[in-house]
Amino acid sequence: MAINIKNIFLKTVKYLGIVWGSILVIMLLTPLIFSDTIKEEVKKYANTKLEGELNYGDANLSFFKHFPSLTLTLNDVNLNGSTPFEKEKFVSAKEIAFGINVTSLLFGKAIDIDQIILIEANINVKVDKNGQANYNVYKASEEATKENDDESSTALQLEKIEILNSKVVYDDQSTAIHLDLFDFNYTGKGDLSSDLFDLYSKVAISKMNFIYENEPYLMNKKVEGDLITRVNVNSLSFVFEENNLNINKLLVDFKGKFDFLKDGYNIDFNIKSNDSELYDLINAFPPKFITWLEKTDVKGKTDLLLTLKGKYIASQKIAPDLHLDLKIKDGFVNYNKSNFPVSNLNLDFSAKLQSLDPNQLLLDVNGISLNIEKEYLKAKWHSKGVENIEMNGELYSFIDLEKLNNALGIPNLTVKGLLTGKGTMNGTYNAKTNSFPIADIAIDLKNGFIQTEYYPNPITNINCNATIKNQKGSIDDLKVKLQPASFTFEQEPFTVEANLENFKDLSYDVKAKGVLNISKIYKVFSQKGLDVDGYIKTDLALKGKQSDAEKGNYSKLNSKGTLEIRNIAVATNYLPKKFLIKEGIFKFNQDKMSFNTFIASYSQSDFKLNGYLKNVFNFLSPRKGTLKGAFTLQSKYINADEFMSSRATTTATVNSTKENPAKSTTSTGVIIIPKNLDLQFKAIAQKVDFQELHLSKANGDLKMKNGKLYLQNTNFDLIGCQVGMNGLYESLTTKKALFEYQIKATDFDIKRAYKEVKIFREMASAAEKAQGIVSLDYKLKGRLNVNMEPVFPSLVGNGILSVKDIKLYGMKMFTVVGSQTNNDKMKNPELSKVDIKSSIKNNIITIERFKFKFAGFRPRIEGTTSLDGRLNLKMRLGLPPLGIIGIPITVTGNKDNPIIKVGKETKDLEETEDKEIE
């Protein structure tokens, strides 16, 4: 019996050894037998299926690399991206292994790849500003599929994807999203070869960084999760059915859908975290909160809901809707073991952002409250809309700001003071309908103190007693009082008291006294200082009523005092650059603001003003009344081009690439004249540059009124001659303006005018080779385009060009006439004491009949030319001696190729009517 058992055991071991030995031999021989076939098939498959360039070092086939699978391993792999990133790496990896289905290898017609394993890979996903991505490397067209069926015996029948110890970078410039995943480990299982399948995934990330618009939100976060994703390969659609993620210790439930569109995405994300610890939520915040959290005792529960739903198509400016709900319950915060911790912290916050448009923000703070011992802060807020803003809010506070600051541990900030507040606000603000919410708000801050890390000295003795009241819900019932507001900074006290009522017909009583060191005050709140080191010194008392200022009832106003400012940069919507007031001393008397000394600069331009302004307070009020004044302006140099508005625009196309990028251009805008200005200037400027015109010794009267600029009795030197001009300019929009002017220039050099004056070259192109002295007396009006250039079809005018002594060299018209009449002198005629009358309309210059004599001939010319050089002229060449006998000649064609014929028949030039383009 014992012998039989022993024999059976030995035979079993023997047969098992034979079987395992055979399997081992097969596993050793199979790679050797099929190695070249598999490598060739995989290479052929890659070449037919991949758009991007694939390179790798050596390749080996083995059962033992990723036992028990038979795997083809490619070492040192680099795969480039799709257009427009075809020259940049999409995937690089130490190893990429392809699992081979052994059954298909031995018995099938095709070699099936059922696993892909990436080891120590760098995956760089890029999307440019136009939504073009680098990951479209897989050919999926029907033609490519048919060719592959015919030529290749390799197919993807994936059931598993593994990514080990890798790094993933996602950089999407169209959405300003950047994502880094370090030590990325991923396993995905499912029938990946099907068009529709469920992908079961497990992910572990040691460090995750999430950056939006260059602002870090999640940094160095550990992420783990189990995910179930339904994938539709045909429509490139992903449905996130069940996804449980841990961000550090915060448990997040993520569900949703993500579809790839032709030029963007369709998104439906739902991120939820219920009944989580407040500590874990803050621990998932941006990195600046983490250092704070290490020293802070935080307790409480939170609920979080974040949804993002809709299409994102950058080229069409379509964006999804964002909705955020955050609740904090029974919170407790104590920074650095403060003696006065924050308790009973509760927050119910909701925000909605339609189409990711900040102008459509809906905010709901259904409640925020906290306690520090018996002190409290409670508030509610609701707002909706932009132009027609719905507001509903409440505020109740009695709290020591120093205790609150210590308990919260706000970094690099020291705040003190007792804040008492009580108020309600309910209604709609609409400037056009003069509506304002019903309000009853009172705020009192005593012994305030602010110090930051940016400036060594604090702002102290801050006291503010402010009330806002409105019982009827209209702007004429609004009352605002400051009694008073004061502070001390750098040992300089500043106080302002104000009583403002009826903002429809503003009644004001304002007193201000003290020094504001603008640059240093700004440094208290920011690391960056102002562009200039400026200050404002005031001692003012302003009292009156807006309607009295408008009607000129100055006896009812009581305004006096001085305002001194130095080195202050002023920004305004009307100008593209900052206006620098180097020195300004102003005195107030009733409604008059006198400029005793005002020195300013604007980029290259400089100004010195003396004069006065009236109706200043009315101008600065919400109703923006008309500012009146009169000045003497002196300048060494004015560059008028710098006053034009500038807007950068990008012309993007879907097919833009590195070789054919989206074009970025900068368009300018016309000079804007505000309609609420009524100003007069007596101007003297030594030099003025405008649109390639270089004026010197300019002087004249300038007036701004009702959005129009008038030039009266203006004189200047241009190209060595005296020019007199009267003009009118009106800006209609930022892209369009009207102008009209009358110009008189005496005895100017026509050759120099052609060389130095751009508009003369464009309107009198025939003068290119002329020499001599002429005078001009002309009226012209028309429209200017976005670049302050005249729109030729809009020009209307008339006037006289007086020829004193001029020689015409090489003009083709006279050259051809001279050739056909066999008279060389006719080729280069000389004119003197000739008045040429003309008019302009619809792009056509009509020249009235004029005569001149030279070399015994008596030519007579009349007709039309166009501003683009077309000709339709009639000419009678009176023959010597008295011109009684003449030859009729017509000149057509254009200035570069005139057609000269003997006869009288001509064809009218086609006019170009002015069609305004908005």
Query: Which pLDDT score, from 0 to 100, does residue 823 have?
Result: 64
Compare 423 and 545 and report the one with higher pLDDT.
423
8 Å CB contact between 110 and 104: yes
Tell me the three state secondary structure of residue 810.
Answer: coil
CA distances (Å), origin 846, targets 355, 362, 795, 865:
56, 62, 13, 7
Report the pLDDT averaged over residues 434-459. Answer: 89
Cβ 390 vs Cβ 384: under 8 Å:
yes
Q: Which two tokens stand for residue 319?
A: 């964006």
pLDDT in tens, 116-125: 888 899 999 8
Q: Where are the alpha helices (DSSP H) in 623-766?
A: 750-756, 758-763
Is a pLDDT exceeding 90 seen at residue 665? no
How much is the pLDDT for 600? 86
pLDDT category at 650 given cuts 50, 70, 90 is very low
Q: How far is the C-alpha of 829 from the C-alpha of 900, rounded, in Å? A: 17
What are the structure tokens assigned to 455, written together?
Answer: 């400036």
Say which residue, 158 or 395, is predicted with more confidence.
395
What is the per-residue pLDDT for 151? 45
Quote the tokens at residue 328: 């904090």
Report how far residue 810's alpha carbon sits from residue 812's, in angstroms, rounded to the nearest whole number: 6
**Would you place residue 917 in the very low, low, confident or very high pLDDT band (cuts 50, 70, 90)?**
very low
Which of 323-327, 412-416, 691-695 is the least confident region?
A: 691-695
Which residues, listed in sequence order, are joined to residue 871 by a DSSP beta bridge?
865
Provide the pLDDT for residue 448.
92
**Cα–Cα distance for residue pair 797/783, rounded to 1 Å:** 12
Give the residue-averaged pLDDT of 72-82.
Answer: 83
Place of tokens 């490598």: 39
Q: Considering only 490-499, 506-515, 742-751, which range has the smallest mean pLDDT?
A: 742-751
Residues making up the chain, counted from first to last:
918
* Range scoring the smallest mean pLDDT among 48-62, 459-473, 531-545, 724-738: 48-62
421 pLDDT exceeds 60? Answer: yes
Residue 855 has pLDDT above 80, yes or no: no
Structure-model confidence comparison of residues 891 and 661, the more confident one: 891
User: What is the C-alpha separation between 846 and 837, in angstroms, rounded?
Assistant: 9
- pLDDT class for 49, splitting at 50, 70, 90? low
Count Cα neighbours of 748 within 13 Å in the Cβ-side half-sphere.
25
List b or e across 265-282, with b for residues whose CB sees 16 or more CB atoms inside 10 angstroms.
Answer: bbbbbbbbbeebbbbbbb
Contacts of residue 601, defined as CB under 8 A and 6 or more positions apart, other chains included, come to 580, 582, 607
For 60, 70, 72, 892, the CA distances from 28, given in Å and listed in that order, are 12, 11, 14, 93
Distances (CA, A) of 20 to 9, 34, 43, 376, 625: 16, 21, 33, 79, 99
Confidence of residue 145 (pLDDT cuts 50, 70, 90): very low
Structure tokens at 830: 């000389």
pLDDT of residue 322 exceeding 80: yes
- CA dist 351 and 507 (Å) reads 38
Strands 459-470 and 361-372: unpaired
For 735, phi then psi, to 5°, come to: -115, -5
Say what the pLDDT of residue 667 is. Answer: 47
For residue 404, what pLDDT band results from cuts at 50, 70 and 90? very high
Percent of the residues in the chain that have a pLDDT greater than 70, as a whole number: 77
Query: pLDDT category, 499, cuts 50, 70, 90?
Result: very high
Residue whose structure tokens are 């010194």: 537
pLDDT band, residue 489 (cuts 50/70/90): confident
Is the predicted pLDDT of residue 502 greater than 50, yes or no? yes
**pLDDT at residue number 149:** 45
Residues 567-583 have pLDDT tens digits of 877 766 666 777 788 88
Per residue in 750-778, pLDDT (tens digit) is 777 777 776 666 656 556 667 788 888 88
Higher pLDDT: 883 or 420? It is 420
State how far the Cα of 345 lies from the Cα of 372, in Å rounded to an integer. 10
As a whole number, the mean pLDDT across the chain is 79
According to the model, what pLDDT value does residue 913 have?
67
What is the Cα Rg of the chain in Å? Answer: 41
Cβ-based neighbour number of residue 217 at 10 Å: 14
Query: How do 677-690 and 627-635 pair as beta strands?
Result: parallel
Confidence of residue 530 (pLDDT cuts 50, 70, 90): very low
Highest average pLDDT, of 174-183, 196-205, 545-554, 885-894, comes from 174-183
- 770-784/796-808 β-pairing: antiparallel
Q: Where are the beta strands (DSSP E) in 341-491?
A: 342-353, 361-372, 375-384, 389-400, 413-429, 438-452, 459-470, 479-489
853 CB neighbour count, 10 Å cutoff: 16
Distance separating alpha carbons of residues 14 and 457, to the nearest angstrom: 92
Residue bearing the bigger pLDDT, 110 or 212: 212
Question: What does 865-881 look like in DSSP terms, one character per residue?
Answer: EETTSBEEEEEEEEPTT
Helix (H) or strand (E) holding 766: none
Mean pLDDT of 587-599: 82
Looking at the predicted structure, is the pLDDT value of residue 341 above 90? yes
- Residue found by looking up tokens 């307790």 in the block: 299
Most confidently predicted of 144-153, 618-627, 792-801: 792-801
